[in-house]
Amino acid sequence: MDWGMSHRLNQLMPGGRCFFMAMDHGYFQGPTTGLEKPGETVKPLLPYVDALFCTRGVLRSSIDPSSSKPIILRVSGGTSMVGKDLANEVITTSIEEIIRLNASAVGISVFIGSDYEKETLKNLSELVNTCEDYGIPVMAITAVGKELEKREARYLALCCRIVAELGARAVKTYWCEKDFEKVVRGCPVPVVVAGGPKCETELEVFEFVYDGIQKGAVGINLGRNVWQNPNAEAMAKALRAIVHDNATPKQAHDIFNGSKKTHHGYSKVDVSV
């Protein structure tokens, strides 16, 4: 592996683990609850994450350039929630722009099994061809659009293997309760767990993240389950403990409870257990 590629991947995944903060939702959802002012939302979370995943528009308008956090640039889009088909994406960002913005990696969605399977896989292939020349890793995102029922192991394993075969250096995919280890085992590049729809409880988030890590994922790329939480900073701190310190869901929940704000400051919970 070229030095530049290796250096970027090690920045993104220190010690082989990663906590990416997803904040690219507006590229197809518009103003998302909790992300109306993305710069303000993410600022207190920066100490806990390894990289930010965002579009060039949010990066330029909302992220302090003095921040030392690596950037994974969302470079596919062109569709919206009100359009006919979310899968009909194109590459939105040139290699010159990627380099100009000093991105450490780029992210692109593929929609395998959709009417635009071939087009999105072609987008991925062309992006890999271009970015490899400059040592910039491509993270493929196995998107399912509005068809959330596709999030089962056989389908996810198929998607992850295909994008790895086409040259993605990492894959962002959904966690599934059954046979997730088979998804990871069949993928020759690092697997990063996506957040998906917002969970009902904090413990539910900690449990699926912990399970994903235990079954071989290198980390997480979460957004709504962090910054839509009223105690987003405590949530980020707890998730970092799972990813980088091998905390259990219970330990993470204790960290969350001990760090969340109350009307009188921060609550105090014994997290030594």
Give the Cβ contact number of residue 269 at 10 Å.
15
Active-site position among 37, 69, 122, 172: 172
Burial class (CB in 10 A: 0-12, 13-18, 19+), 193: buried
d(CA 207, CA 251): 11
**Structure tokens belonging to residue 56:** 């060039």
Which residue bears the tokens 């310190």? Answer: 245
Buried b vs exposed e over 31-49: b needs ≥16 C-beta within 10 Å? ebebbeebeebbeebeebb
d(CA 53, CA 221): 8
**Could you give phi then psi for residue 82, rounded to 5 degrees?**
-95, -5
172 is catalytic: yes
Q: Among 140, 209, 200, which residue's Cα sits nearest to residue 173? A: 140
Which residue bears the tokens 């690092």? Answer: 190
Which residue bears the tokens 């990063």? Answer: 192
d(CA 220, CA 49): 10
How far, CA to CA in Å, does 259 sit from each of 47, 48, 166? 14, 13, 42
One-letter identity of residue 270: D
Contact 166, 135 (CB under 8 A): no
Contact 8, 104 (CB under 8 A): yes
Catalytic residue set: 172
